[in-house]
Amino acid sequence: MPDKKQLHLTAFMRPVSLHTGAWRYPGAYPDANFNLKHLISFIQSLEAAKFDAFFMADHLAVLNMPLEALKRSHTVTSFEPFTLLSALSQVTTHIGLAATASTTYDEPYHIARRFASLDHLSGGRAAWNIVTTGNPESSKNFGRDEHVEHGERYKRAREFYDVVTGLWDSFADDAFPRDPESGVYVDPEKIHVLNHKGDELSVKGPLNIARPVQGWPVIVQAGQSEPGRQLAAETAETVFCGPRDIEAAKALYQDIKGRAEAVGRNPNHLKILPAALVIIGDSVEDAQEKRLKLDSLVHYDSAISSLSIALGTDASKYDPDAPLPKDIPETNASKTSREGVINLAAKEGLTVRQLASRLGGYSGLAFVGTPETVADEFEQWLNEEAADGFTITFPFLPEGLENVTKRLIPELQRRGVFRKDYEGTTLREHLGLPRPKNRFFT
Amino acid sequence: MPDKKQLHLTAFMRPVSLHTGAWRYPGAYPDANFNLKHLISFIQSLEAAKFDAFFMADHLAVLNMPLEALKRSHTVTSFEPFTLLSALSQVTTHIGLAATASTTYDEPYHIARRFASLDHLSGGRAAWNIVTTGNPESSKNFGRDEHVEHGERYKRAREFYDVVTGLWDSFADDAFPRDPESGVYVDPEKIHVLNHKGDELSVKGPLNIARPVQGWPVIVQAGQSEPGRQLAAETAETVFCGPRDIEAAKALYQDIKGRAEAVGRNPNHLKILPAALVIIGDSVEDAQEKRLKLDSLVHYDSAISSLSIALGTDASKYDPDAPLPKDIPETNASKTSREGVINLAAKEGLTVRQLASRLGGYSGLAFVGTPETVADEFEQWLNEEAADGFTITFPFLPEGLENVTKRLIPELQRRGVFRKDYEGTTLREHLGLPRPKNRFFT
Ligand SMILES: Cc1cc2nc3c(=O)[nH]c(=O)nc-3n(C[C@H](O)[C@H](O)[C@H](O)COP(=O)(O)O)c2cc1C
Ligand SMILES: Cc1cc2nc3c(=O)[nH]c(=O)nc-3n(C[C@H](O)[C@H](O)[C@H](O)COP(=O)(O)O)c2cc1C
C-alpha cells in the first residue's frame, strides 16, 4: 500500500482535445480525432503512463453551433464509443475504457448488453458514463420535435440505472457449468428474470450475456444540476465535473460526497475527477505562451461570438487589440458569466482578441506550467479535498499528450502520488472500487 | 480475372455452431461461443482461408425455449455483435465483418452510426444484416407486451433502410479539407441534412460521422416471407436463406433475383448464400458417422420434443430404438414438415432416436462428405444457379472449422472456384459489389 493519497487520472479522448484550436497547432495531427492509428498510439502512451482510463464523451447529433464554428470543428466526425473502445480493447491490456451512453435516447437492454460485452471483451475494463444528453438537437434524430424535459430525463435516468444494473445481475457468477458429460451448459436456477415494470420502463430480462467481469462496469456521471448531483450521489463511482477553480471544486466535492453519505454510501467509493486542460512547458512562461499560441488558432469569427454570449452583449464592436472596455453593460444574461469574463481579462491582462480566443478555445479549468508546478497544484487539489484526481483534456496531439505522459506523470510518480505500475487488471481495481455483489444471488 | 464462376463463403459465427450438440463433441471447446481467445483463433483461420466474411446473427432476448433445451443451449450467453466485431477488426486485416441489427427494436441514427464507425475502424469491412427480429420474446425487453406485427415490422424495416442509407450519405466523400492554414475542417456545402419525415420514422440528420469507407456497408437480409423476399430484392446485396435442398434453392434464387431485376437492379449485385452445415470426413461414411455422433449428443428430452413438434404428434410414445412407425396420424400441424420428417427417416434409415436427434440438433441444409464430394456439390449448386456461395455453419469447433479451412477450401481453390488470395481490401471488393454513389453529392 502506498503511504500517500493517490491520484486517479482519466484521459478525455472524445474529442481528443476540448480546445477548438487543437487540430491547427503546429505539429499536431489535424485528423487526430478520427484516425484510428493515431488513437491507438495515444491509448498505448496513456497505458504506458498507467492512466486509469480512456474516456469518450458522446453526442447524438452534430453539435448545434453557428456555421462559422461548425466548419472549424474537429468534432464533426468522431468514432462511436462502443465500436472504438471495443477495437482499442484489443491493442491494450490494462487501461480502463469509459463510454458515454444516453438514458434518454437509448434502451436499457441495449446499453446493459453492450457494456457487459465490452467488459467481457476487455477483461473487466468497461465504464459507463450515464448522461441524459444535453444537446437538444439529439431529439430530432430520434423522432421527436422537442428535447425531453430536464426533470423527466433525470427521472428516466434513475430508473434506467436500476434496470441496467438489474440486467447485469441476470446470471449468478457461477451460472455456467458447461459440462459436456451431463450436457448442462447453464444452471436455470442461476438465471434471474428481472420483470421490471416501472413508471418509465418495462423490461423483462434476463440479459443474453453472462454477468460482467467487474460485476457491473464502473458507473460514471457528469451532471451538474441539482438532479444531476443527486443521481451522481446515488449511483456514480466516478464523477467528471467542471468546477472553475479550487474553491468551487471543494464545495462540489463536499456536496457530492455528503449526498452519497446521506444515502448510505461509502464516500471513498465515489471518486471526483474534475475535467482539466493541462499544458506543460519548459517554464511557466513557455507553457503560457503555448496557451496563447493555441488560443490564437481559434478563428476570430467564432471566438468573438463566444465572447458576446458570455458577456451578454455584442463584443464585435470593441477594438480586438485593445483591453476590454470598462463599461460593459449589465443585461438579462448570466451575471456570473459576465463577471467571470471581466475578472479573467483583468487578471491575465488579455486583449479583447485574446479573451475571445480563450472563450472560443477552452475556458474551463486549466493547469498551465512546468511538470513541477502542475504536480504541486495536483497535490494541493488532492490534499485539500478538491479532487481525487483529474479528467485531463490535452491541448494538442501528440505533443501535448506526450508532455503529460512523459514529463508530468514521471514527476507525479517520483512524488509517490501516482502509480508506477498497475496493481490489478480491472478498472475497479485501478480505482480502488469494490466489485458489486449480485443482488439476486449470493 | 478467374475464368470460372467464383464461390463466396461466409462463416456463420453467432452462435459458432447452429448444431445444439456442438459444444459437447469430443475435443470441442465447450465455451467456444463465448471465449474471445477462441473466437480470435477462429476468425484468423477463416481469414487465412480467404473467407468473404464472418457473420453474427443476433437476438434481443434469451431465445424462448423449454427449460430442458435452455439449460443445454450454448447460445444463452454470446457477445454483442458491434462490440465483438469491432474487437475482431483489430486482429484481422481483410475478412468482412457482418453484424445483425434489428429495425424493430433499435433506432436508425444509432444503427447508421455504429455501422459507419465499424466500417471506418475496419477499413471498409462492415456489413449489416437487416432483421425485423423474429423472436417475440424481444418485445418484452423493449417496453412492449406484444411483438410488433409482421407487416408493420417490414414496413418500418423498408423505411429504416432509406433513413440509414440516407444518413450514411450525410457527408460527401471529400467533405473534410482539414486545412490547418485556413482553419477549415469541414466544408459545410458538403454536409447534407436528411430531414426525413415518413410514416414510421422522423430523423433530421446529419450523421455525426464521415461517410463509410465502402460508401455504405454491405446490406444483408435473411427474411423468408413474402415481404422478407421483397425487402431482400429491393435492398439486399447478399441474402442468407435456408432452403432445404437444391430444388428449393433454385426456386428461391430465381424468385429473389427476378424480383431484384423487376425493381431495376442488377441481379449480379445480389449474392445468394444459403446457410449450410458442412461436415468433412476422410470418407463419406466417416463424415456421416461424425454427424450421427454429433446428433447423439443432443439430449433426448429436447430432441424428442423437436420431433413431436415437427410431426404434429407426441413422439415420446414410440420406441426410441426402432424405426419410425408407419401410421403417423395427420393433424392440423404443418403437412410439409410432417412429410419431410417421414421422408428423411426412410431415406437415411434412422431410428426414432436418431431422427429426434437430427431435428433437435440441426435439421437444415447440410453437406456431409469428403473435401471432394462436398466441393462437387458446391460446384453443382454454383453452376446450376442454386446459390452464389454459402453461409457455412460448423458442426463443432475447432476441428469442424479446421476441416473446412484446411481441407475443403484448398480443394475449392485447386478447382479454381474460390480465391487463393484477397484481391481487394473491402468486403464490397471481395463480393464483387460496386461502391454506392452518394445520392446527394457527385
Ligand atoms: C467532463 C464532462 C463531460 C461530459 N460529457 C458529456 C457527454 O459525453 N455527453 C453529454 O450528452 N453530456 C455530457 N456532459 C454534460 C452532462 O452530462 C450534463 O448534461 C451537463 O453537465 C449539464 O448538467 P445537467 O443536465 O445536470 O444540468 C459532460 C459534462 C462534463 C462536465
Ligand atoms: C441464415 C439465417 C440467419 C438469420 N439470422 C437472424 C438473426 O440474426 N436475427 C433474427 O432476428 N432473425 C434471423 N433470421 C430470421 C430472419 O430474419 C427472419 O425473421 C426469418 O427468416 C423469418 O422470415 P420472415 O420474418 O420474413 O417471415 C435468420 C434467418 C436465416 C435463414
The C-alpha atoms of residue B78 and residue B15 are separated, in whole angstroms, by 7
For residue B228, the ligand closest to its alpha carbon is 2
Q: In the prediction, which pLDDT does B269 show?
A: 98
Residue pair A106/B57 in contact by the 8 Å Cβ criterion: no
For residue A102, the ligand closest to its alpha carbon is 1
Q: Lowest mean pLDDT: which of A110-114, B221-225, B260-264, B391-395?
A: B221-225
Residue B131: strand, helix, or coil: strand
SS (H, E, C) A263-294: CCCCHHHCEECCEEEEEECCCHHHHHHHHHHH
pTM over 0.95: yes
Residue A351: strand, helix, or coil: strand
Chain B nearest-CA distance from A76, in A, is 6
Residue of A nearest to B58 (CA): A208
Residues of chain B with pLDDT > 90, as a percent, come to 88
DSSP states of B299-315 as a string? -HHHHHHHHHHHHTS-G
Ligand 1 centroid–CA A386 distance in Å is 20
CATH topology of domain A8-284+365-431: TIM Barrel (3.20.20)
For residue B105, the ligand closest to its alpha carbon is 2
Q: What is the ipTM of this complex?
A: 0.96
Interface contact flag, B30 A178, Cβ < 8 Å: yes
Please write the tens of the pLDDT for every residue from A176-217.
Answer: 999 999 999 999 999 999 999 999 999 999 999 999 999 999
Helix, strand, coil % (nearest 5) of chain B? 45, 10, 45
Of B77, B91, B205, the CB nearest to A141: B205
pLDDT in tens, chain A (442 residues): 568 999 999 999 999 999 999 999 999 999 999 999 999 999 999 999 999 999 999 999 997 777 778 999 999 999 999 999 999 999 999 999 999 999 999 999 999 999 999 999 999 999 999 999 988 899 999 999 999 999 999 999 999 999 999 999 999 999 999 999 999 999 999 999 999 999 999 999 999 999 999 999 999 998 788 999 999 999 999 999 889 899 999 999 999 999 999 999 999 999 999 999 999 999 999 999 999 999 999 999 889 988 998 898 899 999 999 999 998 888 776 788 888 899 999 999 999 999 999 999 999 999 999 999 999 999 999 999 999 999 999 999 999 999 999 999 999 999 999 999 999 999 999 999 999 999 999 8
Chain A nearest-CA distance from B201, in A, is 6
**Of A60, A87, A95, residue with least CA distance to A75:** A60
Residues of chain B with pLDDT > 70, as a percent, come to 99
- Interface probe for A, chosen from B33, B65, B140, B185 (most Cβ of A below 10 Å), is B185
Query: What mean pLDDT is reported for chain B?
Result: 95
| Residues of chain B positioned with their CB less than 8 A from the CB of A140 | 202-204
The pLDDT of residue B431 is above 90: yes
Interface contact flag, A83 B118, Cβ < 8 Å: yes
Grid coordinates representing B303 are: 430432441
Domain ranges in chain A?
Answer: 8-284+365-431
Q: In the prediction, which pLDDT does A1 show?
A: 55
Grid coordinates representing B266 are: 442488377
Ligand 2 centroid–CA B133 distance in Å is 7
Ligand 2 centroid–CA B131 distance in Å is 6
Q: Please, which contacts does B35-39 make with residues 24 or more away whose CB atoms are closer than 8 Å? A: B36/A120, B36/A121, B36/B79, B36/B84, B36/B87, B38/B397, B38/B398, B39/B13, B39/B79, B39/B84, B39/B88
Helix, strand, coil % (nearest 5) of chain A? 45, 15, 45
Q: Helix B81-89 crosses helix A108-121 at what angle (to 10 degrees)?
A: 30
Q: For B420-442, what is the mean pLDDT?
A: 97
- The response to whether residue B131 sits with its C-beta less than 6 Å from ligand 2 reads yes
The C-alpha atoms of residue B34 and residue B36 are separated, in whole angstroms, by 6
Give the closest residue (by CA) to ligand 1 atom 6: A57
| Residues of chain A positioned with their CB less than 8 A from the CB of B142 | 107, 109, 203
Beta bridge partners of A126: A97
Chain B nearest-CA distance from A368, in A, is 24
Please write the tens of the pLDDT for every residue from A151-175.
Answer: 999 999 999 999 999 999 999 999 9
Eight-state DSSP code of residue B437: P
Q: In the prediction, which pLDDT does A139 show?
A: 95
Ligand 2 centroid–CA A12 distance in Å is 40
The pLDDT of residue B332 is above 90: no
Chain A nearest-CA distance from B145, in A, is 9
